[in-house]
Chain A
Amino acid sequence: MSWIVVGVDGSPSSQVALGWAMTEAGLRRVPLAVLTVIPAAVEASGVTGQMSPLDESFSDERRTEVQRATQDIVDKAVAERAGQPEVTVTVRAVAGLVADELIQASGDADLLVVAARGAGGFARLIMGSVSTQVAHHARCPVVVIPAGWGS
């Protein structure tokens, strides 16, 4: 069994990534899993710098709410590509460290699709890049859609 995972956070660039992933899933005739990660509050160990999410920082209501919002985005994307091959889409929202959850989801997937925000220079130095982190640690091939692509 194979499928494609796409990370969607609601930003315009992630919606472009969703469109790309749908086209690819249609070409390969495989199901598509849409994953939204709610960034959890993080606790960093003072000794090792290891980051771990705090469990109490999110609730089930919040997750349901986010999942509904993602479902709306997916419905809109499905409506936009009417006439092209049908794609089975599942939506899931989880809370945790964004890159970690995406890397975990890549374990048994065929392809992982993410969008780059396109932060450069100082902003990138401070915040890092989820897409770069995912691309270098995922277990399956990762497609990174550049910011501003397709517009």
Chain B
Amino acid sequence: VSAARRVIVGASGSPGSLRALRHAEDLARHSVATLIPVLAWTPPGGDLAARRQTCPTLVHIWHDAAWQRLWAALDAAWGEIPADMLVEPVVQRGLPGQILVEVACHPDDLLVVGAGRRGVLARMWHSRVSRYCLAHAQCPVVAVPPAILAQHAGRGLHGWPFRRRALSVEAFLHHGGSVTA
């Protein structure tokens, strides 16, 4: 058992993935590994719709747009590409879970994903990618939890304006946060 040689991280640009990117950067730094941010894209309307009428120009545009999303995600997470490590971004067409598991095919790899949103309803639609990776990956998988503030603020029904309240220090500590004086 040796330290990871490649750290593969899902970089969809969602708040959870930004946290995963930052965590992956730490992991890659202290085990001196190559960092591979991966973004998977599917055509708007789904693969089935695109298969009926394939248009190379559109595919090219979608692929370019995916690269732009990936650079935006890296920019949001780090501000700049870390200079002290090897970063090899990957953009591929397909479903995120399958692409991530496909890229992280070596046992020496480490796959980092955002654990997704919590809650009874949220988990029906979200955190599918992390669940797929946990069940199918051939290498260790790191699930990075969403930020404490993100859990508190909530989205969907929980994010309705009338449910929003100021975050008190007590509530923050209750959710596992730490305060320095």
Do A and B make up one complex?
A: yes
A residues neighboring B (CB under 8 Å) = 16, 19-20, 23-24, 27-28, 107, 116, 120, 129, 131-132, 135-146, 149-150
**B residues near A143, Cβ cutoff 8 Å:** 140-142
A20, A136, A145, A149: the one contacting B115 at CB < 8 Å is: A136
**Contact: B130 with A141, CB < 8 Å?**
no
Known contacts A16-B1, A132-B131, A132-B135: does B140 contact A146 (CB below 8 Å)? yes
- A100 CA to B135 CA, complexed, in Å: 20
A19, A27, A135: the one contacting B143 at CB < 8 Å is: A135
Q: 1/0 per position for B127-166, CB-CB distance to A under 8 A?
A: 1001100110111111111000000000000000000000
- A16 CA to B139 CA, complexed, in Å: 12
**Contact: A137 with B118, CB < 8 Å?**
yes
**Contact: B143 with A136, CB < 8 Å?**
yes
Q: Which residue of B lies closest to A22 (CB)?
A: B1
- A142 CA to B135 CA, complexed, in Å: 14
Known contacts A20-B1, A23-B1, A150-B107: does B116 contact A136 (CB below 8 Å)? yes
Known contacts A23-B3, A135-B130: does B145 contact A145 (CB below 8 Å)? no
Count how many chain B residues have C-beta atoms less than 8 Å from C-beta atoms of the other chain: 26
> By DSSP majority rule, is chain B's interface helix, strand, loop, or mixed?
loop
**A residues near B116, Cβ cutoff 8 Å:** 136
**A residues near B130, Cβ cutoff 8 Å:** 135-136
- A2 CA to B123 CA, complexed, in Å: 30
B residues neighboring A (CB under 8 Å) = 1-3, 23, 30-31, 107, 115-116, 118, 123, 127, 130-131, 134-135, 137-145, 176
**Contact: A136 with B140, CB < 8 Å?**
no
- A132 CA to B123 CA, complexed, in Å: 12
**Contact: A144 with B115, CB < 8 Å?**
no
Q: Which residue of B lies closest to A142 (CB)?
A: B143
**B residues near A129, Cβ cutoff 8 Å:** 134
Kindly name the residue among A129, A140, A146 whose own CB sees the greatest number of chain B CB atoms within 10 A: A146
- A43 CA to B114 CA, complexed, in Å: 33
**Contact: B123 with A144, CB < 8 Å?**
no
**Contact: A120 with B135, CB < 8 Å?**
yes
**A residues near B123, Cβ cutoff 8 Å:** 136
- A16 CA to B23 CA, complexed, in Å: 23
**Contact: A141 with B134, CB < 8 Å?**
no
Known contacts A16-B1, A19-B1: does B137 contact A146 (CB below 8 Å)? yes
**Contact: B1 with A139, CB < 8 Å?**
no
Q: List 10 A-B contacts (CB under 8 A).
A: A19-B1, A23-B3, A120-B135, A131-B134, A135-B130, A137-B118, A139-B176, A141-B145, A144-B134, A146-B140
